[in-house]
């Protein structure tokens, strides 16, 4: 076989078996390329949808989509007993007895938040089970006697314990340790070095399956 | 040379495979959760307990249910713990606190001056060092005497507890109180 210039053209050798060094190296190169393409593809697949805004909480649904929670302003209030003569209870309160965001009861719940810098979500987020009281949702946090001294509280049943793990590049997923029972919940975000009287909160309700 | 390009590709393959197979130290998935780092077996999560203080004047009283932790070690064990942190290591190390609790009336109790607790002065002595990419390794500065202990951070509301039991050799030879560290 000759080309247009009349020079002989070398027929490409077909690698039907791996009995030559050239074919062996070609095969190895192909494997390497496939490996690198696969690794890059797997890395892409691992990328998770992260919140765009800082300190906004989302629920992660079963298809890994971020579902916004009810955004609220949470106020710290004092509820006086016998006009204060029997002490008081401080609590966090949110308007409305029921969140418009409803989730079905399920064994696994995950929430996602993007935090500024290197904040620890266990320090920055507090997770409460709240109860409907007189048109509000309330989480009791401490009791005080008539002299405003903290009185002996029992372990706070309204606190929901959770774990936090890295999610994507700059977010965290929050995973409650216990299955969440039906009811109303709010997650509070610390905005400064202390917990001020009003903080942003993200609320939702869980309905019993089938409701 | 026709095949010259294949050599670096192959070298890259071997380097990549070697790197992937390199043994990485265990690091916890969750931040601020403490594990006992065992040398010969899987890390063990310590007993997790909420630690909300009871206020008593200028002191905090911490109460944990049951006199003994279900997580037990022997007085001779080399105890080292790891915790994943999100902050830089120096800042995180300053938040680690370690206390000995007294068993009393089917509970473990600890009474601390409020000011000491806030400044983290009353913690038992610990050595901390960076571990892996995101974690801290924590080692008590001296061998722990038999008793009940909890390790925590000033920034969280959970304590991670365990107990240390006397070894048969220790029985009869009373060990030094770890609080004297």
ipTM (interface predicted TM):
0.77
Q: Give CA angle at A205 (A203, A208), nearest 5°.
A: 165
Of residues A153 and A172, more confidently modeled: A172
Name the pTM for this structure. Answer: 0.76
How do residues B30-44 score in pLDDT, each as one tens digit? Answer: 999 999 998 766 889
Angle of CA points B20, A47, B134, to nearest 5°: 55
pLDDT of residue A14: 62
Partners of B58 on chain A (C-beta within 8 Å) are none
With a cut of 60, say whether residue B157 has pLDDT above it. yes
Question: Does the structure show a pLDDT above 60 at A136?
Answer: yes
Beginning with the edge strand found earlier in the chain, give each strand of the sheet holding A66-68 in spatial order: A66-68, A57-60, A111-114, A171-176, A162-167
The Cα of A77 is separated from the nearest Cα of chain B by a number of Å equal to 20
pLDDT at B135: 95
* Cβ atoms of A106 and A178 closer than 8 Å: no
In whole angstroms, what separates CA A59 from the centre of its chain?
Answer: 6
Distances (CA, A) of B58 to B108, B112, B124: 20, 9, 21
Asked if residue B163 has pLDDT above 80, the reply is yes
Counting beta carbons within 10 angstroms of the beta carbon of residue A93, is it exposed (0 to 12), middle (13 to 18) or buried (19 or more)?
A: buried
Q: Spell out which residues of chain B touch residue A162, defining contact as CB-CB under 8 Å.
A: none
Interface test with B, best of A12, A18, A122 (most B CBs within 10 A): A122
Q: In 3-state terms, what secondary structure has residue A178? A: coil
pLDDT of residue A59: 95
Q: What is the pLDDT of residue B176?
A: 42
Helix (H) and strand (E) counts in chain B: 3, 13
What are the residues whose beta carbons fall under 8 Å from the beta carbon of A32, sequence distance 6 or more?
Answer: B9, B10, B12, B13
A99: number of Cβ within 10 Å? 21
Residue B5: list chain A partners with CB under 8 A.
29
Lowest mean pLDDT among A37-51, B101-115, B166-180: B166-180
Closest CA to A76 of A87, A89, A92, A96: A92
Question: What mean pLDDT do residues A39-51 have?
Answer: 64
d(C-alpha B75, C-alpha B163), whole Å? 9
Residue B172: pLDDT over 60: no
Residue B10: which of A17, A31, A42 has the closest Cα? A31
Contact yes or no for B6/A29 (Cβ under 8 A): yes
Token code pair at residue A209: 């399956």
Contact (CB<8Å) B55/A149: yes
Provide the shortest C-alpha distance from residue A154 to chain B (in Å): 8
The sign one gets for the Cα dihedral A46, A48, A54, A58 is negative
Q: Do B13 and A26 touch (CB under 8 A)?
A: no
- Interchain CB contacts (distance < 8 Å): A and B: 75
Dist CA A162 CA A150 (whole Å):
26
Question: Residue A97, SS3?
Answer: coil
Residue B101 burial class via C-beta count within 10 angstroms: exposed 0-12, middle 13-18, buried 19 and up: buried
Asked if B51 and B64 touch (Cβ cutoff 8 Å), the reply is yes
The two tokens of residue A175 are 């995973």
- Nearest CB among B9, B29, B31 relative to A29 is that of B9
Paired strand residues for B128: B138
A contact test, residue of B3, B31, B59 with most A CBs within 10 A: B31
Give mean pLDDT, residues B100-115. 90
- Grade residue B21 by pLDDT with cuts at 50, 70 and 90: low
Q: Judge: A161–B48 Cβ closer than 8 Å, yes or no.
A: yes
**Record: contact A121-B6, CB cut-off 8 A:** no
Q: If DSSP states are collapsed to H, E and C, what string results for B85-136?
A: CCCCHHHHHCCEEEEEEEEECCEEEEEEEHHHHHCCCCCCCEEEEEECCCEE
Contact list, B6 vs chain A (CB under 8 Å): 25-26, 28-29
CB neighbour list of residue A45: distance below 8 Å, 6 or more residues apart:
none
Dihedral pair phi/psi, residue A117, rounded to 5°: 55, -130
């Amino acid at each position: 076989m000759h080309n247009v210039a009349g020079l002989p053209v070398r027929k490409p050798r077909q690698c039907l078996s791996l009995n030559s060094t050239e074919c062996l190296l070609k095969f190895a190169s192909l494997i390497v390329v496939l490996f690198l393409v696969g690794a890059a593809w797997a890395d892409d697949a691992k990328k998770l949808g992260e919140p765009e805004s800082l300190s906004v909480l989302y629920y992660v649904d079963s298809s890994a989509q971020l579902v916004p929670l009810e955004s609220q302003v949470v106020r710290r209030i004092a509820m006086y007993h016998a006009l204060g003569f029997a002490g008081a209870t401080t609590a966090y309160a949110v308007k409305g007895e029921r969140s418009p965001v409803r989730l079905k009861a399920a064994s696994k719940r995950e929430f996602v938040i993007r935090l500024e810098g290197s904040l620890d979500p266990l320090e920055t987020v507090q997770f409460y089970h709240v109860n409907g009281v007189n048109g509000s949702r309330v989480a009791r946090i401490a009791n005080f006697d008539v002299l405003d001294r903290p009185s002996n509280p029992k372990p706070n049943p309204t606190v929901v314990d959770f774990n936090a793990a890295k999610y994507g590049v700059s977010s965290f997923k929050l995973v409650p340790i216990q299955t969440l029972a039906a009811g109303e919940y709010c997650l509070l975000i610390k905005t400064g070095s202390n917990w001020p009287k009003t903080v942003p909160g993200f609320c939702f309700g869980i309905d019993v399956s089938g409701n | 040379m026709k095949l010259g390009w294949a050599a670096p590709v192959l070298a890259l393959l071997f380097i990549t495979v070697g790197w992937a197979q390199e043994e990485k130290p265990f690091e916890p998935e969750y931040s601020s959760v403490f594990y006992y780092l065992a040398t010969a077996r899987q890390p063990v999560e310590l007993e997790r307990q909420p630690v909300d203080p009871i206020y008593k004047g200028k002191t905090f009283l911490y109460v944990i249910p049951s006199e003994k932790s279900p997580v037990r070690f022997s007085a001779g064990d080399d105890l080292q713990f790891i915790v994943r942190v999100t902050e830089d290591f120096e800042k995180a190390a300053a938040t680690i606190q370690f206390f000995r609790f007294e068993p009393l009336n089917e509970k473990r109790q600890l009474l601390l001056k409020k000011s000491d607790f806030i400044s983290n002065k009353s913690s038992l002595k610990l050595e901390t060092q960076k571990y892996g990419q995101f974690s801290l390794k924590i080692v008590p500065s001296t061998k722990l005497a038999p008793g009940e202990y909890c390790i925590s951070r000033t920034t969280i509301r959970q304590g991670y507890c365990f107990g240390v039991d006397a070894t048969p050799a220790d029985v009869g030879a009373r060990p030094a109180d770890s609080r004297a560290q």
